[in-house]
Chains A and B, each alone.
Chain A
Amino acid sequence: MAKNILIVGGGLAGTIVANGLCRQLAPQLRSGEVVITMLGTTETHMYQPGLLYVPFGRIREHELFRDQRKVLDRRVIFHVDPAKHIDVEKNQVSTAGGRTLKYDYLVLATGSRIMPQSIPGMVEGGHWFYDLEGARKMRDALSKFEGGKIIVNANAPHKCPVAPLEITFMLYDYLKAKNLLDKSEIIYTYPIGRLHALEPVALWAKPEFDKLGIKYETFFNTESVDPGAKTITSAEGVTLPYDLLVTIPPHQGAQVIVDSDLGKGGWVPTNTKTLHRDGSTNIFVCGDTTNIPISKAGSTAHFEADVLIDNLASLLTENRMARDYDGKVFCFIETGSSTGTYVWFNYTTPPNPGPPSQMVHWFKLAYNRLYWLSAKGLL
């Protein structure tokens, strides 16, 4: 009887896992011992980090998308049919389309989503670049911007923890190129008492902000936005006026995780090393879906997926786990429109950002295209 691997989620994490398993389990797939099925929510696969460039007209929208069927190994059975309920007792998943799929191994890669609606006034008053519609709206607002106060407002939790800094530096360069710097002010707000969750990154960013005249308000957790008065107010009791509000909305996990009672806020309690769902031996969690206190970012999903593939393949062929996830994360950081730096860290090694360079910026631009090789599991 075939072993069924079911992957819920067709984003980067689910796709790398599916493609990697196809490579490692090729003989088992050929003989019919293993069947890999993926449940996705859409026909297309989006390169999410590319959205950062949309407001500045620095990427074409079509570059962000590929047909998921073409990104996925053809041996994967792919259904565009969102999971509706995950029953970990019965080892089965039911879908919006009425399917019920049994599994021997389940991979939860349901990702995260922005929740601007969770903060009063944010939908009406804010601009963001975390989905295509938002990025387009922000592009339009920027093209009409003639100077004034821009607030860059980061909320917890969010994915891609360096994006608030990147968008701030890119906005600065954009205003400079448009000759609007003299008439403008950028104010960056952050939930904790420094400019970034990673202390070395915060220490690096502060003098950079000071040098550029970018202001900041730390310990700022957004409570509400007043789109009429154009003000934003924090739970800490500070109200700031704005002409343009660029926000990184708070995130939550997928609704199916909440509805299936698998984790508060859609985050599944996960073993930090084995990536097992706590309490399960046949359920793995990958990418943003975990509750592991590290970055919710594509790179995290990628490195977790590599470990998960090795472990799941070893379990199926040798009945043992291969290795632990060490918490590895690697993030590019755009520091303007022509320079960049990066950080990497794991559970035991703190990050240490290097001086920005054009070389790293160009590498990030190259990676924007190499991404598709990552998704295919080739990089």
Chain B
Amino acid sequence: MQTIDARGAFCPGPLMELIAALKLSAIGDQIEILSTDKGSVADVPEWVAKVGHKMVGVTEKGDHWSIVVEKAK
């Protein structure tokens, strides 16, 4: 599984990084994004649902969140 460390990222931001990484992935690949931005916990699932990818899970890990997404289309 590919991990993108977007902790502390102000620009382009965790969701933008995830979108860019998913473009380069194959269907079925899982990507973990690490974010210190609490907003990502809401943004990422909202976008994933809208596009039709699959949310695998969101885990709080101390000062950051680990969000795992599976490319579905």
Q: Interface-forming stretch among A124-132, A138-146, A345-353, A364-372? A: A345-353
Total of A-B residue pairs, C-beta within 8 Å? 75
Asked if B27 is at the interface of the complex by the 8 Å CB criterion, the answer is: no
CB < 8 Å neighbour of B16 from A157, A327, A329, A348: A157
Q: What are the interface flags for B7-29 relative to A under an 8 Å C-beta threshold, 1 for contact and 0 otherwise? A: 01111111111011001100000
Please give the distance in Å from B55's CB to the nearest CB on chain A. Answer: 15
A197-B11, A264-B24, A347-B8 in contact; A156/B47 too (CB < 8 A)? no
The A329-369 residues at the B interface (CB cut-off 8 A) are: 329, 345, 347-348, 350-351
The A197-239 residues at the B interface (CB cut-off 8 A) are: 197-199, 219, 221, 235-237
Q: What are the interface flags for A284-311 relative to B under an 8 Å C-beta threshold, 1 for contact and 0 otherwise? A: 0000000001110000000000000000
- Assess the A157–B11 pair: CB atoms within 8 A: no
Asked if A265 is at the interface of the complex by the 8 Å CB criterion, the answer is: yes
- Assess the A348–B19 pair: CB atoms within 8 A: no
Please give the distance in Å from B57's CB to the nearest CB on chain A. Answer: 21
User: How many positions in chain A have a CB within 8 Å of any CB in the partner chain?
Assistant: 27
Asked if B4 is at the interface of the complex by the 8 Å CB criterion, the answer is: yes
Asked if B60 is at the interface of the complex by the 8 Å CB criterion, the answer is: no
A156-B19, A221-B19, A236-B51 in contact; A197/B12 too (CB < 8 A)? yes
- Assess the B51–A294 pair: CB atoms within 8 A: no
Asked if A191 is at the interface of the complex by the 8 Å CB criterion, the answer is: yes
Query: In the bound complex, how far is the Cα of B17 from the Cα of A236, in angstroms?
Result: 17
A156-B19, A157-B16, A191-B19 in contact; A345/B11 too (CB < 8 A)? yes
Please give the distance in Å from A200's CB to the nearest CB on chain B. Answer: 9
Query: In the bound complex, how far is the Cα of B19 from the Cα of A191, in angstroms?
Result: 8
- Assess the B47–A199 pair: CB atoms within 8 A: no
Chain B contacts of A264 at CB under 8 A?
2, 24
Asked if B39 is at the interface of the complex by the 8 Å CB criterion, the answer is: yes
Please give the distance in Å from A293's CB to the nearest CB on chain B. Answer: 4
Residues of chain A whose beta carbon lies under 8 Å from any beta carbon of chain B? 156-157, 161, 191-193, 197-199, 219, 221, 235-237, 250, 264-265, 293-295, 327, 329, 345, 347-348, 350-351
Residues of chain B whose beta carbon lies under 8 Å from any beta carbon of chain A? 2, 4-6, 8-17, 19-20, 23-24, 39, 43, 46-47, 50-52, 73
4 nearest A-B residue pairs (beta carbon): A293-B9, A157-B20, A197-B12, A197-B13
